[in-house]
Amino acid sequence: MREERHYDKAKELLEKSLAIHTNVFEDNNIRTGLVLFHLGNLYKDMGEFEKAKTLLEKSLIAHEQNYGKNHIETMRVLRSLGQNYLLKGHLPTAQEYLSKVEEIFQKNNHPDVYMVFEDLAELYLKKAMLEANKGDTKQSQAFQIQATSYLKQALEVVKTHFPKDSPHILRIQNKIEKLKGMNSLLQEKTIRPKVYPAYTRYIF
């Protein structure tokens, strides 16, 4: 209930801000684009994915027009769109967007690439889940290996750019250990396909 009140208050403030910005600034103004970005992320976190998609797509247009298609700030919006598709279960589109963000962040040696690696790890774990549900254990394990690889890349970035006691390091290490445990259970065939999604949520 407390979390719902938090969302409601944030939504109220952001929607008021969007109304003001829309009235004051011209279409695709970057200030309006930033409000759209934050409101879209809020709807994404609330699970209202269609509303989030609409707002984030508008924000993306504003960012592309003001910064360019391959700018870091534009990539932040594209990442949110990718996350939104990931949460909806539209994995091909999510992978397309997140891979683009990874490419640009890598090209710019941007430390925030670790977050995209974590997103991609979650994506491949969901792909592993789908294959496990089909009974294709071999392909499922291959996707789990890819998920682990992305987490290890995220860990290396975090170790390079953050203090040794950073909570990011501990969080990613925990994900890697949990994923190892899941893979062992899958190999032993002690995870039933119906409960596989619960293990995915347990990790991420």
Per-residue pLDDT tens digits of the chain, which is 204 residues long: 435 668 999 999 999 999 999 999 988 999 999 999 999 999 999 999 999 999 999 999 999 999 999 999 999 999 999 999 999 999 999 999 999 999 999 999 999 999 999 999 999 999 999 998 888 989 999 999 999 999 999 999 999 999 999 999 999 999 999 988 776 666 555 455 555 555 566 566
Contact assessment for residue 99 and residue 81, using Cβ atoms and an 8 Å cutoff = no
pTM: 0.89
Helical H runs in 25-90? 30-46, 49-67, 72-88
Angstrom CA distances, 147 to 6, 91, 115, 189, stand at: 33, 14, 13, 19
Instruction: State the pLDDT at residue 5.
Output: 62
State residue 187's pLDDT score: 59
pLDDT confidence of residue 26: 87
> And the tokens for 88?
């909806």
Two structure tokens written together for 140: 């499922």
Q: Which domains does the chain have, with CATH numbers?
A: 1-90 (1.25.40.10), 111-204 (1.20.120)
pLDDT for res 4: 61
**What is the predicted pLDDT for the residue at 2?**
38
Return the DSSP state at 193: G
